[in-house]
Chains A and B, each alone.
Chain A
Amino acid sequence: GDSVTQMEGPVTLSEEAFLTINCTYTATGYPSLFWYVQYPGEGLQLLLKATKADDKGSNKGFEATYRKETTSFHLEKGSVQVSDSAVYFCALTERSGNTGKLIFGQGTTLQVKP
């Protein structure tokens, strides 16, 4: 079945460092791709999404580009802040139906130190 694989964490960075969190996927169809973020003590919230090949999703300084040829959707940010410390989940949904059923990766914890 469809699946999402993320790099293992935790990822520990100093403030203003460059961030990359790798995400690759396996899907039989042509999925849409998402990044969700979970801040401490909270539920998940949508960070960005891309619905077709070469689309770039962006939000709050984060970016990810849908790469069909490498089946990847890596998350990047040029300069992280302490407030970016959270767990990041890559996810996909199949292009069928309207239930928005998502398949999630295992999550990557980011710790940003001052």
Chain B
Amino acid sequence: DVKVTQSSRYLVKRTGEKVFLECVQDMDHENMFWYRQDPGLGLRLIYFSYDVKMKEKGDIPEGYSVSREKKERFSLILESASTNQTSMYLCASSSPSDGSFPPYNSPLHFGNGTRLTVT
């Protein structure tokens, strides 16, 4: 089974702090994603990466950056945390080469989420 592991389940940070959220997958997937989940808004894409050192902005990238130095690890960085970044953050991975056709139909495999509170 694919395993996507997020380093923290709960995190409490202060306004202005630099925050790192880590995600690791163990299935050699090319694609990795960061979403945030808020009540009534569903999941919104922050950033995604389709290869090492590659990144693309999603729908709400402002206030965030990402790093992908190794294929299995995708980090989300909040440069200066603010209270409006209090949310559940979900990491996901997928592989266009998992046999699904077309390749963009490959299922996403999600981690269990990190609930971040910024005070």
Contacts and interface: CB of A to CB of B under 8 A. Distances in A.
B107 to A, nearest CB: 4
Interface string B80-119: 0000000000101010100000111111111111000000
A104 B42 contact: yes
A104 to B, nearest CB: 4
A8 to B, nearest CB: 9
Interface string B39-74: 011111100101000001010000000000000000
Contacts of B42: 4, 6, 89, 104-107
A96 B4 CA distance: 25
B65 to A, nearest CB: 18
Contacts of A97: 104
For chain A, the bracket of interface size reads 20 to 34
Nearest to B106: A100
Interface residues of B, number: 30
A86 to B, nearest CB: 13
Contacts of B4: 43
B108 A106 contact: no
Contact of A102 (B40, B108, B109, B111): B108
Contacts of A46: 107-108
Contacts of B35: 104
B110 A45 contact: yes
Given A89-B43, A100-B31, A107-B42, A44 B96 contact: no
B31 A43 contact: no
Contact of B113 (A43, A89, A95, A100): A43
Interface string A44-70: 111001010000000000000000000
A114 interface: no
A33 B22 CA distance: 29
11 contacts: A32-B105, A43-B112, A44-B110, A46-B108, A89-B42, A94-B104, A98-B102, A99-B94, A100-B104, A100-B106, A106-B42
